[in-house]
Structure 1
Amino acid sequence: MENNTNKQHTRPPIIVVMGHIDHGKTKLLDTIRKENVIDKESGGITQHIGAYEAEVETAAGEKKHITFLDTPGHGAFSNMRRRGAHVADIAILVVAADDGVKPQTLEALEAIKTAGIPFVVAINKIDKAGADPDRVKKELSEKEVFVEDWGGKVPAIPISAKEGTGIQDLLEMLLLVAEIENLTADANAPAEGVIIESHLEPKRGNTATLLVTKGILKHGDFVIAGNAYSPVRIFENFRGQPIQKAPPSTPVRITGFNTIPEVGVEFKTAHTKKEAESIISKQPEQKRSSSPAVAPTTETTEEAGPHTAYLVVKADATGSLEAIEGELKKLENENLIIKIMKKGVGSINEDDAKVAGATMGSAIVGFHVRVEKEAIPTAERFGVAIKTFTIIYELLEWVQAHIEEAAPQETKEEVVGEAQILKIFSNKGSKQIVGGKVISGVIKNKSKIHIVRRDNVIAQGRIVELQHGKTEAQEVSEGNEFGIRIDSPTEIVPRDVIQSLEERTGKRSVSAS
Structure 2
Amino acid sequence: MKQKRIPIIVILGHVDHGKTSLLDWIRKTRLVEKEYGGITQKINAFSTGSFTFIDTPGHELFTSLRKRGAQVADLGILVVAADDGVMPQTKESLEFLKEFKIPYVVAINKIDRPLAQPEKVKKQLSELGVVFEEWGGDVPCYLISARTGQGIDQMLEGLYLLSDLYNFSYDDEAPFFGYVLESYKDIKIGNEVLIVLKDGVLKTGQEIFSYSSYGKVKKIINTDGKELKELIPSIPAIIFGFEELPFAGEVISQNKVDILQERFFKNLVLGQGKKEIKFLIKAADYGKIEAIIGALEKIASEKEIKLKIIDASVGELVKKDVDFIKTYHPNLILFDVKIPNFLKTEIFPEPIKIIQGRSIYEINDGIYKEILQEETQEKKIGILKILKVFSQKRSKVTVGGQVEEGSFRLNDRVVIKDENNKIVAGGVIVSIEKDKISCDSVDQGLCGMVIEGSNLDKVNEGYTLHKI
Q: TM-score range by the shorter chain?
A: 0.7 to 0.9
Select which of 6, 14, 22 maps to 1:12: 6
- TM-score between the two structures when normalised by the length of structure 1: 0.69
2:144 aligned with 1:150: no
Measure, in 2, the Cα distance between the counterparts of 1:383 and 1:111.
43
Measure, in 2, the Cα distance between the counterparts of 1:351 and 1:202.
15
Q: Aligned in 2, Cα 1:294/1:73: closer, same or farther, shift over 3 Å?
A: closer
State whether residues 20 and 55 of structure 2, in contact with CA within 8 Å, keep that contact through their aligned partners in structure 1.
Answer: yes
Q: Aligned in 2, Cα 1:305/1:128: closer, same or farther, shift over 3 Å?
A: closer
Q: CA deviation at 1:289?
A: 7.2
Q: CA deviation at 1:317?
A: 0.6
Matched letter for residue 85 of structure 2: G
State whether residues 250 and 261 of structure 2, in contact with CA within 8 Å, keep that contact through their aligned partners in structure 1.
Answer: no
Measure, in 2, the Cα distance between the counterparts of 1:293 and 1:106.
32
Q: Aligned in 2, Cα 1:20/1:294: closer, same or farther, shift over 3 Å?
A: closer
Matched letter for residue 319 of structure 1: G
Q: Which moved more, 1:331-340 or 1:188-197?
A: 331-340
Q: Aligned in 2, Cα 1:305/1:78: closer, same or farther, shift over 3 Å?
A: closer
Measure, in 1, the Cα distance between the counterparts of 2:79 and 2:365.
28
Matched letter for residue 343 of structure 1: A
Q: CA deviation at 1:261?
A: 0.7
State whether residues 290 and 345 of structure 1, in contact with CA within 8 Å, keep that contact through their aligned partners in structure 2.
Answer: no
Matched letter for residue 61 of structure 2: A
Unaligned runs of 5+ in 1: 1-6, 56-64, 271-278, 296-303, 411-513
Which has the larger Rg? 1
Residue 235 (structure 1) aligns with:
220
Q: How does 1:52-451 map to 2 (within 5 A)?
A: 52-55=46-49, 65-269=50-254, 279=256, 291=265, 305-333=273-301, 335-359=304-328, 362-407=330-375
Query: Tell me, what secondary structure is at the counterpart of 2:228?
Result: coil
Query: Tell me, what secondary structure is at the counterpart of 2:64?
Result: helix
Residue 448 (structure 1) aligns with:
none
Query: Tell me, what secondary structure is at the counterpart of 1:381?
Result: coil
Measure, in 2, the Cα distance between the counterparts of 1:150 and 1:294.
48
Matched letter for residue 31 of structure 1: W
Measure, in 1, the Cα distance between the counterparts of 2:68 and 2:222.
21
Measure, in 1, the Cα distance between the counterparts of 2:262 and 2:78.
33
Matched letter for residue 112 of structure 1: L
Matched letter for residue 106 of structure 1: K
Measure, in 2, the Cα distance between the counterparts of 1:26 and 1:259.
31
State whether residues 315 and 346 of structure 1, in contact with CA within 8 Å, keep that contact through their aligned partners in structure 2.
Answer: yes
State whether residues 8 and 74 of structure 2, in contact with CA within 8 Å, keep that contact through their aligned partners in structure 1.
Answer: yes
Query: Tell me, what secondary structure is at the counterpart of 1:366?
Result: strand
Matched letter for residue 308 of structure 2: K
State whether residues 307 and 407 of structure 1, in contact with CA within 8 Å, keep that contact through their aligned partners in structure 2.
Answer: no
Q: Aligned in 2, Cα 1:141/1:219: closer, same or farther, shift over 3 Å?
A: same
Q: Aligned in 2, Cα 1:305/1:49: closer, same or farther, shift over 3 Å?
A: closer
Matched letter for residue 337 of structure 2: V
Select which of 29, 32, 57 maps to 1:35: 29
Residue 451 (structure 1) aligns with:
none
Measure, in 1, the Cα distance between the counterparts of 2:262 and 2:104.
34
Q: CA deviation at 1:305?
A: 4.8
Query: Tell me, what secondary structure is at the counterpart of 1:340?
Result: strand
- TM-score between the two structures when normalised by the length of structure 2: 0.75
Give the CA RMSD over aligned residues: 2.4
Q: Which moved more, 1:178-187 or 1:9-18?
A: 178-187
State whether residues 137 and 146 of structure 1, in contact with CA within 8 Å, keep that contact through their aligned partners in structure 2.
Answer: no
Matched letter for residue 191 of structure 2: N
Q: Aligned in 2, Cα 1:198/1:95: closer, same or farther, shift over 3 Å?
A: same
Query: Tell me, what secondary structure is at the counterpart of 1:407?
Result: helix
Residue 452 (structure 1) aligns with:
none
Residue 505 (structure 1) aligns with:
none
State whether residues 185 and 192 of structure 2, in contact with CA within 8 Å, keep that contact through their aligned partners in structure 1.
Answer: yes
Q: Aligned in 2, Cα 1:218/1:310: closer, same or farther, shift over 3 Å?
A: same
> How many percent identity over aligned positions?
38
Q: CA deviation at 1:350?
A: 4.3
Query: Tell me, what secondary structure is at the counterpart of 1:233?
Result: strand
State whether residues 186 and 215 of structure 1, in contact with CA within 8 Å, keep that contact through their aligned partners in structure 2.
Answer: yes
Measure, in 2, the Cα distance between the counterparts of 1:148 and 1:291.
44
Unaligned runs of 5+ in 2: 379-468
Q: CA deviation at 1:408?
A: 7.5
Q: Aligned in 2, Cα 1:193/1:359: closer, same or farther, shift over 3 Å?
A: closer
Q: CA deviation at 1:171?
A: 0.8
Residue 444 (structure 2) aligns with:
none
State whether residues 219 and 233 of structure 1, in contact with CA within 8 Å, keep that contact through their aligned partners in structure 2.
Answer: yes
Residue 47 (structure 1) aligns with:
41
Measure, in 1, the Cα distance between the counterparts of 2:8 and 2:273.
49
State whether residues 379 and 385 of structure 1, in contact with CA within 8 Å, keep that contact through their aligned partners in structure 2.
Answer: no
